[in-house]
Structure 1
Amino acid sequence: MSTAVPADNKKLGFANAFIAATLMGFVGFFARHIDAQGDFIAFSRMLCGGILFFAILAWKGRLSELRSYRISAGMVASGFFMGNCLSAYIAATQLTSIANAVFFIYIGPIISTLLAVIFLKERMKFATWFAMAAVFAGMMLIVGLVSVDAGGVHFGMTFSSKTFVGDMLALYSGVGYGLFLFFGRFRTDVPGETRAFWNFVFALAGISILFLFTRPGVAQMATSDWLWWIGIGIVCGFGALGACTIATRHLKAAEFACVSYWECVVAAVFIGWLVYGEVLSAVQLLGGLLIIAGGTGEMAIGLLGRGLKRRKVPETRPV
Structure 2
Amino acid sequence: MTTHLKGLLMTVFAVIILSPDSVLIRLVEDASPEVDSWTVLFWRGLLYAVGVSLLVFIKYRSKTIKEFQNIGKGGLLIGFFSGISTGTFVFAIVYTSIANALVIISTGPIMIAIVSWFLLKEKSSLITWASMIIVFIGIYIVMSGNFGGDKLVGDLFALATAVMMGFTFTLTRKYKTINMVPVNAIGGVIAAFIAFIMANKIAVPIEVFKYVLAMGTILSISFSLITIAPRYMPAAEVGMIMPLETVLGTLIAWYVINEEPTANALIGGSIVIVTLFLHSWYSSNLARKIEKI
- What's the CA shift for 1:55? 3.1
Distance 1:129 1:172, change over 3 A: closer
1:157-176 Cα shifts (integer Å, max 9, x gaps): 3348x899878866654543
- Judged with a 3 Å threshold, the aligned counterparts in structure 2 of structure 1 residues 17 and 78 are, in CA distance, closer, same or farther, namely farther
Deviation (angstroms), 1:204: 0.9
**Alignment pair present for 1:304 and 2:288:** no
5+ unaligned residues in a row in structure 2: which ranges? Answer: none
- The 2-side partners of 1:92 and 1:10 are apart by 34
Q: What's the counterpart of residue 57 of structure 1?
A: 56
In the TM superposition, residue 82 of structure 1 has moved relative to its aligned partner by: 1.7
Distance 2:242 2:88 in 1: 19
Is the Cα contact below 8 Å between 2:39 and 2:199 reproduced in 1?
Answer: no
RMSD of aligned C-alpha atoms? 4.1
- Residue 212 (structure 1) aligned with residue 206 (structure 2): no
In structure 2, do the counterparts of structure 1 residues 165 and 55 end up closer, same or farther at CA, with 3 Å as the change threshold?
closer
TM-score (norm: length of structure 1): 0.68
Structure 2 residue aligned with 1:183, among 164, 168, 171? 171
Structure 1's 171 and 139: CA in aligned 2 closer, same or farther, altered over 3 A?
closer
Seq. identity, %: 21
Residue 77 of structure 1 corresponds to which residue in structure 2? 77
Q: Residue by residue, what CA displacement relative to the aligned partner does 1:131-175 show, whole Å, maximum 9, x if unpaired?
A: 44445544555xx43xxxxxxxxx223348x89987886665454
Cα–Cα, structure 1 residues 115 and 247, in superposed 2: closer, same or farther, change >3 Å? farther
Are residues 139 and 82 of structure 1, via their aligned partners in 2, closer, same or farther at CA, if it must alter by over 3 Å?
A: same
Q: Distance in 1 between matches of 2:225 and 2:53?
A: 15
What is the aligned partner in structure 1 of residue 112 from structure 2?
112
> Which stretch of structure 1 is more off in the superposition, 253-262 or 198-207?
253-262
Is this contact kept in 1: 2:236–2:280, CA < 8 A?
no
1:266 aligns with 2:260: no
Which sits farther off after the overlay, 285-294 or 295-304?
285-294
For residues 169 and 84 of structure 2, what CA distance do their matches in structure 1 show? 13
Tell me which residue corresponds to 1:124: 124
Distance in 1 separating the partners of 2:277 and 2:107: 20
Whether the aligned pair in 1 keeps the contact of 2:79 and 2:184 (CA below 8 Å) is yes
**CA distance 1:169–1:267, shift in 2 (3 Å):** closer
CA distance in 2, matches of 1:10, 1:306: 14
1:40 aligns with 2:17: no
Q: Give the counterpart of 1:294 among 263, 275, 280.
A: 275
CA offsets 1:84-114 (integer angstroms, 9 cap, x no match): 22223423555x5549x83875665544321
- CA contact 2:80–2:187 (8 Å) conserved in 1: yes
Distance change in 2, residues 1:266/1:203 (3 Å): same
Count of residues paired in the alignment: 284
Give the direction of change, closer, same or farther, for the CA distance of 1:81–1:13 in structure 2 (3 Å limit): farther
Shift of 1:43: 3.5
Q: Which amino acid in structure 2 is aligned with residue 56 of structure 1?
A: L
Distance 2:158 2:263 in 1: 28
Residues 60 and 42 of structure 1, relative CA distance in 2, 3 Å threshold = same
Q: CA contact under 8 A between 2:237 and 2:284: conserved in structure 1?
A: no
Amino acid at match of 2:207: S
Alignment correspondent of 1:149: none
Contact 1:45–1:232 (CA under 8 A) maintained in structure 2 = yes
TM-score (norm 2): 0.72
Q: Is the 8 A contact 2:75 2:178 kept in 1?
A: no
- 1:241-289 CA-to-partner distances (Å, cap 9, x unmatched) read 3344446788999887776544332222x21344445555666544454
Counterpart contact for 1:84–1:207, Cα < 8 Å: no
Q: Kindly indicate whether the alpha-carbon contact (under 8 Å) linking 2:236 and 2:283 is maintained by their aligned counterparts in 1.
A: no
Whichever residue aligns with residue 22 of structure 2, its letter is G
* 1:24/1:188 CA distance change after superposition, 3 Å: same
Counterpart code for 1:75: G
Does residue 231 (structure 1) correspond to residue 231 (structure 2)? The answer is no
Matches within 5 A, 1:97-176: 97-98=96-97, 102=101, 109-138=109-138, 141=141, 144-145=142-143, 155-159=144-148, 173-176=161-164
Rate the CA distance shift 1:45–1:216 in 2: closer, same or farther, 3 A. Answer: same
Determine if contact 2:146/2:152 at 8 Å carries over to the other structure.
Answer: no
